[in-house]
Structure 1
Amino acid sequence: MCGIVGYIGSRDSQGILVEGLKKLEYRGYDSAGIAVFTKDGLQVAKAQGRLANLEEKLGHAPLAGSAGIGHTRWATHGKPSDANSHPHTDESHKFSVVHNGIIENYLELKEELMEQGCHFSSETDTEVISHLIAREYEGDIVKAVQKAITFMRGAFALGVLTEYEPDKLVAVRQASPLIIGIGEGENFIGSDIPALLEYTRNVYILNDGEMAVLTRDAVELMTIEGNFIAREMMTVDWDAVTAEKGGFEHFMMKEIHEQPKAYRDTMRGRVNAEGNRVILSELNLTEEQIKNITNIQIVACGTAYHAGLVGRNMIEGLVRIPVENDIASEYRYRSPIVSPSTLVIVVSQSGETADTLAALREGHAGGAHVLAITNVVGSSIAREADSVLVTQAGPEIAVASTKAYTSQVIAFALLALYLAEVRGTQSEEQVKAILDAMNELPEQVEEVLAQKEAIKLYAESIAEHDHLFFLGRGVDWAVAQEGSLKLKEISYIHSEAYAAGELKHGTLALIEEGIPVIALATQESVLEKTISNIKEVKARGADVLAITDEAHVNDVLKSVDQAFVIPKTLPLLTPALSVVVTQLLAYYASLALQHDVDKPRNLAKSVTVE
């Protein structure tokens, strides 16, 4: 998830591009760059790190010109560096591209272009686009872009300039957001509305498969095939702060709504065209090494630890390898038994979590292969791990993790399927059935989000209580723990999660009249047992809310006061849906108590000390 901007008009473009990038830096901050038409032709300036680094460079060597494109990067292909920063050009430096998204087939395109004599200067997928456009150019930049797109597979929002036609800026959208801003004698592009608000409130929002050709005085909308489109202009009435949050009141709610996209992006490029096989080229293990794995240890902190609990269920269920979960801050102090046949999986959104980094090194000391699941390319954990499975959640601004957690769950599902393929524990048909169900998850999340108002009402009622309990069995218990943590960290309501079967071993003493209990009941194999546990707390006066699925809601409703229903999916995939209900409950409870949802007290986004 990167941010792109573009300008064509009569004003100095450098200042407009940099200001636009400032509004988009929340979308990525690994590097930044701009390309501008100057009196000396198309010139590029870019720098690793925060946008301030680029500003410093431009302060010494400004780029003067009235048309340009800019980019702020969230690294996906290639570590953060000056060379991997956008914009990218072809060898002639006559064509320049900024890109938000992922080109799934970039490696095969890169090999083809290299065979044709192209030389590459970066590790990115984006650079192939500039070379493709240069190859296809025959005097018409629009046609060259259209033809180049036919070779590309994946997600992309593009801004394209060529020195041969300095009066045009070409923009394309395919599965990544792109906005066109309309001014007087000037026009703009941006990944998001905040980048444009200072200059115009009149916009076109491109749909997938559409492109725009911008000049100073006009904007032409068309399909990628070249069919012209007539569309009514939209006038934006948001203020700048609201726009940065996508119209939502808080970043947390915005990020909850971004989960369908995060699911798709994390799967993108990791499933074959037939949808029956997972491809994890980033896993640096041979098939023989995978077959020789005797045990797996998943190590993480906080929310990432809870994603690991779901991961354990997935791996043990699909691959039949024993899996342990460890809290990273305890791992190295218990002298874990690690061998070269152990796979250690460390999970961290930021890739900088100090305890998890220490656990990684402990795994290495025991001779294990260490796989990192992280959201940040080039982070400390990503650099030190033997293999890295990068989630594609994009930057997460709210302290309380939502889309990063669910992207980790999707990553674990992909990993479990890949290991099962190699070890032969799941057939091709079984793998396809699970992947088909995973492809349905984004739309199913939208169905959960449609219940927001009812969830809000319940959350407002529990905000009046000082204590609350979550119950669940199996993978539901894993989600219960994440739901309890989310409620605690942003609403400050004391909450505990228990394995439902443990109630009679002490916990039942805490149940009293009117206390809220949230019971997760999505697992058919233990549903009768879970209902029995629900009846135990009901008999002692608890007010029980169930989170269940469409197939079991009628049975569950007989024993609870209220239920929220998630769409039916495979049992191992229910956490990707049920957790969304708990996220919304926590959000609305915090809101009811007038707390700072995005910045809860005493907490930081990345814990870089032990």
Structure 2
Amino acid sequence: MCGIFAYLSYSSPKERSFVIETLLNGLSRLEYRGYDSAGMAIDGNANNETRIYKQVGKVAALRKLVGEDEKDMGHVYQSQFGMAHTRWATHGEPSSNNSHPHRSDDNNTFTVIHNGIVTNYKEIKTVLENKGYSFKTDTDTEVVVKLIKYVYDSQRGAKLAFPDLVKAVCRELEGASAFIFKSTHYPNEVVVFRRGSPLMVGIKTDKKLTADFVDVEYFNEAGVTENNSDVPIKRIQNQLFSTSHSDNKGVEYIFSSDSSAIIEHTRKVLFLEENDIAHISQNGDLRIHRLTREEGMSSIRSIKTLEMELAEIMKGSFPHFMLKEIYEQPESVVNTMRGRVDFANNKVILGGLQSHLSSIRRCRRIVFCACGTSYHSCIATRAIFEELTEIPVSLELASDFLDRKSPIFRDDVCVFVSQSGETADTILAMKYCLQRGALCVGVTNTVGSTISRETHCGVHINAGPEIGVASTKAYTSQYLALVMMALQLGEDRSSMTERRQEIIQGLKELPGKIKEVLNLDDSLKQISKDGLHGEKSLLILGRGYNNATSLEGALKIKELAYIHCEGIPAGELKHGPLALIDETMPIILIMTNDIHYNKTRSALQQVVARKGLPIILCNEGNEGLPEKCKTIVIPKTVDCLSGIMAIIPLQILSYHLAIMNGVDVDFPRNLAKSVTVE
């Protein structure tokens, strides 16, 4: 949920203003993750000096603070380091004092930024307090930076290598975290550590790369003790850069918790794995260390190329990222299908599943596990999975699944759905299932994410970067990817051939029909103004494939417009919710032409009988609707795809309601795009 960004230029002369602007711009790219304060640390003018700036509020407030204080913006440095952070309060209230970076003492001997939670910080804090250390903040992170100073001081003059020191500290920490460490004892060196929270290293240089990977070095299992400062390690086998004396070009490293902050600098990225320690040495070399040797863990870290464009993370002519992403859906669904759907032969081929298809088809059940909007995409596609594959399907909210420690067996297939691929609860559920021998499938929108790397196989939804906190195009692409997965798994059942062909041809028409829905924007804005603005509560009713639509639509209105909204299965109306219905209760009823139409019409009659006047979301040609009811008419499509068509008007309604209520649509209060802590 916090954002980490750092920049190091080695033998690459840069003005201080460039480094500061790079840090601030990196934080701006991470704003969508949600935060309440921001800060940065940069190299000062004096030898080994570190300057720290922290401010509550937006990145703009930090920019103002730095601009008022820094006087030597034009000074050029051969090598320079800075790290920056956006904080989402977990331990301690939002305040300048509790913001990152945190320091070990008044001299800034050690500084650190941190994403995640140290679950055993209270125990460590007690130990350090007993040794005379005092604390100035309420955070768990300050414990880490005090601990690293304690370990350093306890070596009694025997100076540890910086990565050895970080290793000794991180072995004592529990919980999912990512750290970036800087120290005046180790000038021009940087150490980063990843455990459970995402972290990657971008590489920008004109140097000749001699390899597209970095070997992993292993620490001695004995660890670091006061009497054992020389920790033998396995030396690296390759040099990443040419060491020719004629090659005196510099190198820049960019560290971030999110690729969206790196792409404008470089496409070359190294994704850190669990328990990796990355070290930039004094001579600018990148090395990867690990705490322990683990069976099955790769001995190299490959340098990947980011497949995204800078324009994808810019708003362009749109006032908000969310509106841009709503309007990108005709294109994003095409990208989800591109190269995977053969419309001429009615075939679906998902390459990421190909080698595991037979195992999935033989499984005894499919378990979907996700959170929030991703969970709704699983609800939306459960029925088509069961219909096409005839395999039992169960749905699990990741947090509840972990609380119950639900039984998982070796012949289960567990599907983990997450836009970011870094959702903490979903990752923990994935690890739980991996430990029990289940075949694990990842469905994500982020290449290189934890879920995409650690599952056995998976599907990348190819929706493109989604910056708005409220998910829009990722939801429709998740929905679509899961339908495609069901189509591929069910192609060995000849009895379903005609049904599969109907759905695949429906996929072909989908982009054009989504464009028709987007043309309703002006009328939806008017409905928002006349029928919903100013209301304190709202009900959305749906049935069948649109049960999930009612839930997802309600979530959008809650998180964006700050209006209490419930998504209710229309079949459950008489089991309690009917008590809420009267002439004052605003209602949206999803009533598309499918096999549940008559049952949904029964729900409409019950609402009207109690003087309710619902807004009806229906298809062209629907007859017998009350004249007084407002309607939102969308194109008809195959029943299992109707949820994609029906959710888009609700996304647009929630957007306009949020604007009318004065909400910052891209950054709704108290919410984060990527929930990387439990």
TM-score, normalised by the number of residues in structure 1: 0.63
Partner of 1:584: 652
- C-alpha deviation, 1:559, in angstroms: 6.8
- 1:383 corresponds in structure 2 to 453
2:484 alignment partner in structure 1: 414
Return the offset for 1:320.
1.9
Residue 31 of structure 1: how far off its partner (Å): 6.7
Deviations 1:70-118 (A, max 9, x none): 775599xx9689xxxxxxxxxxxxxxxxxxxxxxxxxxxxxxxxxxxxx
Cα drift, residue 274 of structure 1: 3.6
Matched, 1:500 2:567: no
1:526 to 1:590, Cα distance in 2 relative to 1, 3 A: same
Report whether the alignment pairs 1:259 with 2:329: yes
Where 1:307 maps in the other structure, the secondary structure is helix
Give how far 1:47 is off.
Answer: 5.4
How far does residue 468 in structure 1 lie from its aligned partner after superposition? 0.7
CA distance in 1, matches of 2:376, 2:258: 36
Residues 539 and 587 of structure 2 are in contact (CA less than 8 Å); yes or no, is this contact kept in structure 1?
A: yes
Map of 1:573 onto structure 2? 641
Q: Is the counterpart of residue 454 in structure 1 residue 533 in structure 2?
A: no
Distance 1:318 1:523, change over 3 A: farther
- What residue number does 1:438 align with? 507
Aligned runs of 1:38-57 on 2, under 5 Å? 49-50=255-256
- Deviation track 1:544-574 (CA, whole Å, cap 9, x = no partner) reads 0111122x4234x347601111111100001
The alignment status of 1:563 with 2:563, answered yes or no, reads: no
8 A contact 2:268–2:305 mirrored in 1: no
User: Partners of 1:380 and 1:509 in 2: how far apart?
Assistant: 45
Note the C-alpha offset of 1:291. Answer: 2.8
1:214-363 paired onto structure 2 within 5 Å: 244-272=314-342, 274-283=344-353, 285-363=355-433
Report the CA distance between 1:405 and its aligned residue.
0.8
Cα deviations by residue, 1:44-83 (Å, 9 ceiling, x for unpaired): 9775744999999xxxxxxxxxxxx9775599xx9689xx
- TM-fit CA distance, 1:306: 0.3
Counterpart for residue 187 of structure 1: none
**Distance (Å, rounded) in 1 between the aligned partners of 2:469 and 2:424:** 17
The C-alpha deviation readout for 1:462-498, integer Å capped at 9, x for no partner, is: 1211111011111111100000010001111111111
Q: Secondary structure of 2:427's match? A: helix
For residue 675 of structure 2, give the secondary structure of its aligned residue in structure 1.
coil
Q: Following the alignment from structure 1 to structure 2, what is the Cα–Cα distance between the partners of residues 381 and 339?
A: 20
Confirm whether residue 608 of structure 1 aligns to residue 676 of structure 2.
yes
Provide closer, same or farther for how the CA distance between residues 51 and 332 of structure 1 changes in structure 2, counting only shifts above 3 A.
closer
Contact 1:320-1:425 within 8 A present in 2 as well: no
Q: Write the mapping of 1:47-196 to structure 2, written as runs, cut at 5 A.
A: 49-50=255-256, 72-73=266-267, 191=311
Aligned partner of 1:410: which letter?
Answer: L
Write out per-residue CA displacement over residues 499-556 of structure 1, whole angstroms, 9 at most, x where no aligned residue: 1111111111111223111011114211011011011111112220111122x4234x
State the distance in 1 between where 2:250 and 2:609 align: 70
CA contact (8 A) 1:250 1:598 kept: yes
Supply the distance in 2 between the matched residues of 1:49 and 1:265 (Cα, whole angstroms). 29
For 1:138-165, what per-residue CA distance to the aligned partner results, in whole angstroms no more than 9, with x for missing partners? xxxxxxxxxxxxxxxxxx9xxxxxxxxx
Percent identical among aligned pairs is 37
Corresponding letter in the other structure for 1:540: R
The alignment partner of 2:596 has SS state of helix
Is the contact between residue 490 and residue 597 of structure 1 (CA under 8 Å) also seen in structure 2? yes
Deviation string, structure 1 residues 410-436 (Cα, Å, up to 9, x no partner): 110110011011455532x54343222
**Number of residue pairs aligned between Structure 1 and Structure 2:** 432
- 2:297 corresponds in structure 1 to none
Q: Supply the AA of the counterpart residue of 2:642.
A: T
RMSD: 3.9
What's the CA shift for 1:286?
3.7
State the structure with more CA Rg. Answer: 2
**Secondary structure at the counterpart of residue 426 of structure 1:** helix
Tell me, what secondary structure is at the counterpart of 1:553?
coil
Residue number in structure 2 paired with 1:596? 664
What's the secondary structure of 1:574's corresponding residue?
helix
1:203 maps to: none
* Paired AA for residue 391 in structure 2: I
8 Å CA contact retained: 2:320, 2:665: yes
Q: CA deviation at 1:455?
A: 0.4
CA gap 1:278/1:55 in 2 versus in 1, 3 angstroms: closer
User: Measured at CA, do residues 50 and 345 of structure 1 come closer, stay the same or move farther in structure 2, by a change above 3 Å?
Assistant: same
> Counterparts of 2:338 and 2:562 in 1: how far apart (Å)?
37
Whether the 8 Å contact between 2:571 and 2:603 is mirrored in structure 1 is yes
**How far 1:122 moved relative to its partner?**
7.5
Contact preservation (8 Å) 2:357, 2:489: no
* 1:367 equivalent among 395, 413, 437: 437
* Structure 1: segments with no counterpart, 5+ residues: 1-11, 57-68, 82-120, 127-155, 157-175, 178-189, 195-243
Give 2:590's aligned residue: 520
CA distance in 1, matches of 2:363, 2:467: 37
Structure 1 segments (4+ residues) deviating >3 Å = 21-38, 43-56, 69-75, 78-81, 121-126, 272-275, 284-288, 422-425, 429-433
Q: Is the alpha carbon distance of 1:325 and 1:464 closer, same or farther for their aligned partners in structure 2, counting shifts above 3 Å?
A: same
Q: Answer whether contact 1:252 1:597 (CA < 8 A) is retained.
A: yes
CA displacement 1:421-463 (0-9 Å, x = unmatched): 1455532x54343222112211211111100011011112312
Aligned-pair distance for 1:369? 0.6
- Residue of structure 2 in register with 1:4 after alignment: none
User: Distance in 2 between the 1:54 and 1:512 partners?
Assistant: 47
Question: 1:516 and 1:358 mapped to 2: Cα distance?
Answer: 39
